[in-house]
Chains A and B, each alone.
Chain A
Amino acid sequence: MNTIAPPPSARTAGAPSGHPSGDKRFKILEVFIKRQQQRQDALIEVLHKAQELFGYLDDGLLWFIAHGLRLPPSRVYGVATFYHFFKLKPQGAHTCVVCMGTACYVKGAHRILEALEQAAGIRAGGTTPDGRLSLLTARCIGACGLAPAVVYDDAVAALQTPESALERVKGWLNHGAG
C-alpha cells in the first residue's frame, strides 16, 4: 500500500490533459499547475490546491501531479507523506480537531481527547466506520489564551471540557450503527 500505482490510463497518456474520468476538478488542477509554469518547486502549492479540491490525496491524484510537474512519483509521494497537513485518506463528513498545544495540554486537553476517543470508538487520527466523523489532533492552533480549544468543522470553540465536547459531537455520532 506504500507505493503509488499509476492508474492504467495514465501509463499510456502523454502530458496530462484533464483526466480520463472526466472529473472537472482535474482540469482545474491542471490549469493551476500550468499557472505555476510547471516549476518543480511549486510542488507543495500544487498539493495544497489538490487537497483543497479533492479533500485528500489518493495515489491516482499524486500520480497525476507527478506527471504534471514532471517529477518522479517517489518525490511527490515523499513530500506528501512528510507533511502532516496532507491527508492520504478520505476524511469524515465532519472533523473535530483537539488542540494539544502546551497551554491546552496543561489545562486538560488529553481528557477531552480521551472522552471523544471513547465516545466515537476511534483513536486520534481515525475516522468513524460510517465516515461521519474524523477525530484529529493539532500541535497548536494559537488560541492558547482560551485553552483548551477544539475546532469543530473549522469553527474554533474556546474553553472546552470533556462534557461540552461530547455534547457538540453528539449529533455527528451514529450510535449503534458503528
Chain B
Amino acid sequence: MVLAELQEIKERELAARKKVLITCCLAAGCMSSAGKQVKEALDRAVQAAGLDHDVEVRGVGCLRLCCEGPLVHVDPPGVLYQKVRPEDAASLVGTLSGGATAVQTADRTSPFFTRQLPIVLENCGRVDPERLESYIAHDGYLALRHVLRELSPAEVIAEITKSGLRGRGGAGYPTGLKWATVAKTASAKKYVICNADEGDPGAFMDRSVLESDPHRVLEGMSIAAYAVGADQGYIYVRAEYPLAIARLQTAIRQAKQFGLLGSGILESPFHFNVDIRIGAGAFVCGEETALMASIEGRRGQPRPRPPYPAESGLFGQPTLINNVETFANVPPILRRGAAWFASIGTERSKGTKVFALAGKIRRTGLIEVPMGIPLRTIVEDMGGGAPDGGRIKAVQTGGPSGGCIPAEHLDTPVDYESLTRLGSIMGSGGMIVMDERDNMVDVARFFMEFCMDESCGKCIPCRAGTVQMHELLRKILARRATARDLTTLEELCDLVKNTSLCGLGQTAPNPVLSTLRFFRREYLDLLQPEPWKAPAAAASSEPAP
C-alpha cells in the first residue's frame, strides 16, 4: 500500500462519517453492566426513528469513567451520558430531535477528564477497534510508513532514545537502550514480543489499550521489529481477556489483508508477522524469561540472567520484549517527534502514564496523566477522594511487587524515582486507594498470599520464604505473634528480597516492607508480650534488695 491509498482510505472514512456519532463504551467495565445491550437498543432506536442515514452508533473502547458505566457519548452536541440502561435508548435518540431525557450526564469539566493527557489512549473511545479503516482515519500506520520510507533502523532507535521513553511494564528500563542492544546482535533470526500478561491484580490498562486500539500496538511492534531486525512477533495475552484476544485476532487479520503485516509491508522489503500466544493463568509469566518459556510451550519458570533475552531469548535467539503500553507509545513518538514527547513529564521520566484508578475512591476508571503529576492531584482532584466521608489512608501502586504510599506523602510526584524512594514502584499502573477501615497488615497478608500462590517453585527463597512470611503475617493478625516473630519476618523479607531468582521473589517482600515502614504501629498493636519477659518485668518492679 502507498501513501495515496492510506490517504484515500482516510478520506473515504471521514467522508462516510454521518452527522451524529453515538459512541458506546464496550470495554470490560461497561460490558459488565449491560453495555452491549445498550448499544443494541440504541441501534434499534435509531432505526425506529428512521435516522440511519444521519446517525452512526459505534461500539468503542474505554470511555474512562468506569464507575458510572455504561457510558454513551453523543456528538454533536458532545454529551457523555452515564449509567445508561437499554430502556433509555429511545429517549437518548429523541434528544437529537429536541426531545428531553432523564439520563444523567457526566460532567466533562471535572478534573477527572480535564487533567488527563491522552497519548497512549488518544484513540481510545474514538476509533472502532474492530475496523482498520477507522484507525487509519485517525492517522494510523502513518508512523510505520514514515519509518519504512525515510528512516534507517539506527535512526529509529536514535529517535526512541532521544524521546526518553522508558519501559511501562514497571521497571522503567530505557526503551531505546533495549532496542539498541537487540539491534547490535548479529543473528539472522530475531523476535519481538509484546508482554500483555497483565497479571497485577487491580490493573486493567493494557487490557483497555488492546480492547480499544489494537492496531496501535501492532504498529508499535512493527516499528520495533524494523528497528531491531526481527521478522516474527508474538503477543502474549492472558486467557482471562477473551475480548482483547478476539480484537487482536481481528486486527491481525485486517492488517494482513491490507498488506500492513506479512511480506513487503507498505511496498518495502520489510516483512513481519505477528502471532498471538494465550497465557494460561500464571502470574510469574509476566517475568520475561518465564514468559518466553511459556511461549515455547513449557512451564512458565524463569531462568537466571544473564544471558539477557536481548542476547539469547526466545528459542535461543535475540529477543526484544516490551510491554503493551510501551509499544503503544511508539507510533505517536515517531509521528510527532522525540522532542515533543521529551517535553512532557519530568527530567528522568518522560511522557505520560496510564493508571487504573480503583478502590475506595469516588471516581474509578482509566486515566492517563503526565509523569510527575502529584499523587494528590490524582486521588483527590481526579478521583474525588474517598467515598462516604472516609479519609484516604494509603495508595497502593505496583501490585504485589509494589508498596503502600501513606496519605502524608500524597504530594509526591508520580515518576519512577520518587515512587522507588518511598519503597513502592511505578509498576504497570494499578492504583488502589485505601481508606481508614483497611488494615494494612491484612493488605500485606493479602499480597503475600498472592505471591505464595503464584511462586513457580523453582528457587527456594521464594517458594519457602513466601509461605513462612504468610504464616507469620497470619500469626500477627491472629494476635498470637510476639516481637520475635516480627524480627523473623523482617529477616525473611531481607533474605527473600536478596536471594530470589526472579522479580517475583525479589519484590514479594515489598508490600510488607512498605507497610512496616509507614504503618509499623499497626503491626506493634497486634503483638503479644513475650511470655518469658513477663516474669522478668514483674521481678524488676520489685524493690531492689
> Residues on A close to B: CB < 8 A?
39-45, 47-48, 75, 78-79, 82-86, 100-103, 105-107, 138-147, 149, 155-158
Assembled-state Cα–Cα distance A84/B203 (Å): 19
Most central of A102, A107, A140, A158 by chain B CB within 10 Å = A102
Q: Which 9 A-B pairs have the closest CB atoms?
A: A145-B66, A83-B280, A156-B32, A101-B201, A84-B281, A85-B281, A144-B358, A142-B204, A43-B297
CB neighbours of A106 from chain B (8 A): 359-360, 432, 434, 438, 443
- Is the beta-carbon distance between A48 and B28 smaller than 8 angstroms? no
- Is the beta-carbon distance between B296 and A141 smaller than 8 angstroms? no
Residues A103 and B298 in contact in the complex (CB < 8 Å), given A48-B278, A142-B204: no
Interface 1/0 per residue, B456-475 and A, CB below 8 Å:
10000000000000000000
CB neighbours of B366 from chain A (8 A): 145
- Is the beta-carbon distance between B364 and A142 smaller than 8 angstroms? no
- Is the beta-carbon distance between A102 and B430 smaller than 8 angstroms? yes
> Residues on B close to A: CB < 8 A?
28-29, 31-33, 66-67, 69, 198-204, 207, 239-241, 277-283, 294-300, 315, 356-360, 364-366, 396, 399, 430, 432, 434, 438, 443, 446-447, 450, 454, 456
B67, B432, B454: which contacts A102 (Cβ < 8 A)? B432
A41, A86, A139, A144: which contacts B199 (Cβ < 8 A)? A139
Give the nearest-CB partner of B438 in chain A: A106
Assembled-state Cα–Cα distance A139/B395 (Å): 20
B69, B296, B315: which contacts A146 (Cβ < 8 A)? B69
Assembled-state Cα–Cα distance A156/B242 (Å): 12
Residues A84 and B202 in contact in the complex (CB < 8 Å), given A142-B28, A146-B32: no
**B319 → A minimal CB distance (Å):** 14
Assembled-state Cα–Cα distance A156/B198 (Å): 19
Assembled-state Cα–Cα distance A144/B295 (Å): 28
Give the nearest-CB partner of A99 in chain B: B201
How many pairs of residues, A versus B, come closer than 8 Å at their CB atoms? 142
B241, B358, B443: which contacts A147 (Cβ < 8 A)? B358
Assembled-state Cα–Cα distance A157/B32 (Å): 5
CB neighbours of A147 from chain B (8 A): 358-359, 364
- Is the beta-carbon distance between A141 and B300 smaller than 8 angstroms? no
CB neighbours of B315 from chain A (8 A): 41
If A83-B280, A103-B364, A106-B434 are given as contacts, then 9 extra A-B residue pairs at C-beta distance below 8 Å, sorted by A number, are A40-B297, A44-B294, A100-B201, A103-B432, A105-B201, A142-B203, A142-B204, A144-B202, A144-B358
CB neighbours of A47 from chain B (8 A): 280
- Is the beta-carbon distance between A145 and B365 smaller than 8 angstroms? yes
A48, A82, A100, A139: which contacts B300 (Cβ < 8 A)? A82
- Is the beta-carbon distance between A103 and B359 smaller than 8 angstroms? yes
A39, A85, A146, A157: which contacts B239 (Cβ < 8 A)? A85
A78, A139, A146: which contacts B450 (Cβ < 8 A)? A139
Assembled-state Cα–Cα distance A82/B280 (Å): 9
- Is the beta-carbon distance between A83 and B28 smaller than 8 angstroms? no
Assembled-state Cα–Cα distance A86/B28 (Å): 23
Assembled-state Cα–Cα distance A158/B83 (Å): 13
Assembled-state Cα–Cα distance A149/B201 (Å): 13
Assembled-state Cα–Cα distance A148/B203 (Å): 14
Assembled-state Cα–Cα distance A155/B297 (Å): 30
**A72 → B minimal CB distance (Å):** 12
Residues A83 and B281 in contact in the complex (CB < 8 Å), given A107-B359, A140-B200, A145-B29: yes
- Is the beta-carbon distance between B280 and A85 smaller than 8 angstroms? yes
CB neighbours of B200 from chain A (8 A): 140
Assembled-state Cα–Cα distance A146/B361 (Å): 11
CB neighbours of A157 from chain B (8 A): 32
Give the nearest-CB partner of A69 in chain B: B297
**B348 → A minimal CB distance (Å):** 28
Give the nearest-CB partner of B363 in chain A: A145
Assembled-state Cα–Cα distance A85/B456 (Å): 15
**B541 → A minimal CB distance (Å):** 43
**A159 → B minimal CB distance (Å):** 8
Most central of A40, A45, A47, A105 by chain B CB within 10 Å = A105
A42, A44, A79, A141: which contacts B240 (Cβ < 8 A)? A141
Assembled-state Cα–Cα distance A83/B299 (Å): 8
Assembled-state Cα–Cα distance A86/B281 (Å): 8
**B217 → A minimal CB distance (Å):** 16
CB neighbours of A140 from chain B (8 A): 199-204, 240
CB neighbours of A145 from chain B (8 A): 29, 66-67, 69, 204, 356-358, 364-366
**B292 → A minimal CB distance (Å):** 11
CB neighbours of A105 from chain B (8 A): 201, 446
**A168 → B minimal CB distance (Å):** 14
Give the nearest-CB partner of A101 in chain B: B201
CB neighbours of B28 from chain A (8 A): 141-143, 156
CB neighbours of B434 from chain A (8 A): 106
